[in-house]
Structure 1
Amino acid sequence: MRILISGASIAGPALAYWLTRYGHSVTVVERAPTPRKTGGHAVDLFGPAMEVAEKMGVLPRVAEMSTGTTRLTVHREGRRRPVTIDLTKIFGAVTDRHVEIMRDDLSEIFHHATRDHVEYVFGDSITALADDGQVFFDNGAARRFDLVIGADGLHSNVRRLVFGPESGFSAFIGAYLGVLSVPDSPHRAGELVEHLGVGRTAGMYGAGRPGDARAVFLFRSRHQLDYHHRDVSRQKQLLRAAFSGMHPEVDGWLDELDHTPAFYFDSITQLRMDTWSRGRVALVGDAGYCPGPAVGGSTSLAVLGAYVLAGELAVANGDHERAFAAYEREMTPLVLGSRAFARNAAKRLIPNSRLGTWAVLRGLQLVSALPTGASRALAKLNGKGLRLHDSMVIKDYPALASNSTNTSKTNR
């Protein structure tokens, strides 16, 4: 089949990889003019998603490009002495396999794994979809595809065209996320520095490259703020208002807003849709079931979703109606679990009282002090909570992958 994917970040290239493995001809269209190679924030790959990356043959490169963050230094607002946390103990408690990598590095790895067998069209986007498979674009000529997959993120263009406005599916869970590039400090290699206050937290970590770091800001808001998701000036204004005066170091990070090469700001919003497919169109990753940026393991969910969608299309021998239904059955429990996890994580990461900040810090200290085996055993008692992402079980499609051939170029 000829399949069009909208979005070349994480879910899109991952899906393209598996679809070409099963013999489909794949085109990926991306609004950005080139593959993104700067900016972005760190994302986590947990156990099952790492297994998928391993099946793709890219896990060694993923590990090589990891941020290498191993320790956390927390400055609690109003307290003089910082607390140091062993992050390897924290992640060791919640997962058996984990890597933190910059989002754009992971995107580039997936792009490189697929670029020889997938047609990438940058600097264009879909404007309309016809029932007969005809797809219209901003810049390119109209083309016909058998299926169209929206992998274009939380503010998906495909979802808007097929399902309607985002407001009908989004649920604000009370917080905002901001990320910007800042100069790194060599003496802080492997360290995440965090300032924790009531209703807000700010941190800085290295991006795994000399001189490159990210400042990350999370803050609570009872109501949704007034801004457009493309209005960068307004977003920076809101971020300054939320964090100004928190700490001189944080003020220094905010000063970088005037000349940062990369900036991201968005609400922590969940997508809650009853279905992720309609006709010959389906959604994958954040476009269909974002559990909440930075708090719900959305990157791992996107990698899993891409793997499952392609696998179910192969099992159904191209019967997209049967495949889409099976894909939704497989992914729904994982999505529901991630939504609940994200709501709880937002509360833990951004406590709304002084007692809450103390409790968060004490909890981290406790896990950091325990032997890894003991903390892992305690966490395993709560498989639907801290160990959620490792508890996810998905189908295995090895026979299909091994028996297929990469025919994407000859099928065009």
Structure 2
Amino acid sequence: MKSVLISGGGIAGLALALSLSRRGFAPTVVERADGLRGGGQAVDVRGVALKVVDRLGMLEEIRAHRTRMRGMSVLDGDGREIHRSTESTFSSGRLDSGDIELLREDLVRVLHDRAAAEGVELVFGDTVTALDRAEDEAGTLIRFERAEPRRFDLAVGADGLHSTVRRLAFGPEERFTRHLGMHLAIFSANNFLALEDWQLWLREGEAGYGVYPVRGNSELRIGFGFAGEPLPAGRRGPEAQKALVAERMTALRWETPRLLKALAEAPDFYCDSMAQIHLDRWSRGRVTLLGDAGYCASPLSGQGTSLALVGAYVLADALTGSGGEHRAAYAEYERRLRPFVRLNQALATDNPGGPASEESVERAKNAIALDG
């Protein structure tokens, strides 16, 4: 039985662990956070990714968590409605689509609970610090911040845009990052706007926000977006980031003061640059990369979750087909997945002014066959 260390307990890492466990591998997931991360935006499971969750036996459970939006309003800087739609929203696309929008935390919880129930080893509050002898025929020795070193047959970095595994195996992050000129901040608040299954989007100049209710209209998810260069090193802590976001949003009018008050009080604030990751190869020795760690498309693509789910399935399938022989498996993983990644990354870079066209999304989300 091949042992696999998976760094990252998000969507990509948990989906891979579940897929590998069912195929006779022994995965161990190590997550830096002390538990499952709450908060975050609504994400989309689209196209081929729906087939992945169906094969994992989770499709109906995922559907039960879907958002229930009736439509959206687009507002000018003073909060006046300039457009409304009951057919689609910016976050999910067409409301009559078979695709599923749900909160990221709900999808992670479903994956986690399935993996735990099936005996996957899940380790929280730790992180990888070194990958020793990644080319060794006897496996790679993984060193951790807290736990004792352990040897694994394979190692997978599923630890996001700022992947530690990628840095250890391939080098500094800046070699592979393409900044897209935007930043996104996400946080939750009580539904002080009394929204009922309805989204609001406001933009003026190079800043704007989207607001939508969740949890039976009891909470809001608020997303602030603004243009700018990558965040300076000295402004990457939560409080410094909150101050920077407030600076960039304060010129907006309408409900902005109340939204900024909610930002200051938010317990689950997240902020990062919108960026993509591009590498010539996703593997080195016994180590490979999955999801945002290897080929982040950015939230601007709307396809990060689908890339994580499909990537996990294809990697597990390739490892099974090769009998666990990593060289052949990693080559097959890249051969099958790279065209799919390219099309989905292009949804962000080819449409800098707004959401991609329905035709582009339809083509990209279905641009791979799960069965070879």
TM above 0.5, yes or no, is yes
Conserved in 1, the CA contact under 8 Å of 2:303 and 2:344? yes
For residues 339 and 94 of structure 1, what CA distance do their matches in structure 2 show? 23
Secondary structure of 1:387's aligned partner: helix
Residue 52 (structure 1) aligns with = 52
Residue 149 (structure 1) aligns with = 156
Residue 394 (structure 1) aligns with = 369
| 1:9 Cα deviation after fit | 0.8
Is 1:239 the equivalent of 2:241? no
| 1:199 Cα deviation after fit | 1.9
Conserved in 2, the CA contact under 8 Å of 1:53 and 1:59? yes
| 1:128 Cα deviation after fit | 0.7
For residues 202 and 221 of structure 2, what CA distance do their matches in structure 1 show? 14
Residue 409 (structure 1) aligns with = none
Residue 116 (structure 2) aligns with = 115
Conserved in 1, the CA contact under 8 Å of 2:337 and 2:368? no
Conserved in 2, the CA contact under 8 Å of 1:66 and 1:208? no
CA spacing shift, 1:87–1:187, aligned 2, 3 Å: farther
Conserved in 2, the CA contact under 8 Å of 1:11 and 1:285? yes
CA spacing shift, 1:241–1:192, aligned 2, 3 Å: same
CA spacing shift, 1:161–1:94, aligned 2, 3 Å: farther
| 1:95 Cα deviation after fit | 8.9
1:218-253 CA-partner distances (Å, limit 9, x unpaired) = 1222x3332457411221122111111312312211
- Structure with the higher fraction of residues in helix conformation: 1
Secondary structure of 1:347's aligned partner: coil
Worse-matched range after superposition: 68-77 or 16-25? 68-77
| 1:187 Cα deviation after fit | 4.2
CA spacing shift, 1:226–1:247, aligned 2, 3 Å: same
2:40 partner amino acid:
G
1:11-410 superposed matches below 5 A: 11-36=12-37, 38-77=38-77, 80-88=80-88, 96-116=97-117, 117-131=119-133, 132=136, 133-185=140-192, 187-221=194-228, 223-227=229-233, 230-348=236-354, 379=358, 382=359, 385-396=360-371
For residues 207 and 89 of structure 1, what CA distance do their matches in structure 2 show? 15
| 1:153 Cα deviation after fit | 0.5
For residues 70 and 53 of structure 2, what CA distance do their matches in structure 1 show? 22
| 1:79 Cα deviation after fit | 7.1
For residues 305 and 95 of structure 1, what CA distance do their matches in structure 2 show? 26
Conserved in 2, the CA contact under 8 Å of 1:186 and 1:211? no
Segments of 5+ residues of structure 1 without an aligned counterpart are 350-359, 361-377, 398-412
Conserved in 2, the CA contact under 8 Å of 1:28 and 1:119? yes
Secondary structure of 2:352's aligned partner: helix
| 1:190 Cα deviation after fit | 1.1
2:123 partner amino acid:
V
CA spacing shift, 1:185–1:79, aligned 2, 3 Å: closer
* Equivalent residues, number: 364
| 1:196 Cα deviation after fit | 2.1
Q: With structure 1 as the length reference, what TM-score do the two structures score? A: 0.83
Q: Sequence identity of aligned pairs in percent? A: 36
CA spacing shift, 1:296–1:227, aligned 2, 3 Å: farther
Secondary structure of 2:129's aligned partner: strand
Residue 355 (structure 1) aligns with = none
CA spacing shift, 1:229–1:283, aligned 2, 3 Å: farther
Secondary structure of 2:350's aligned partner: helix
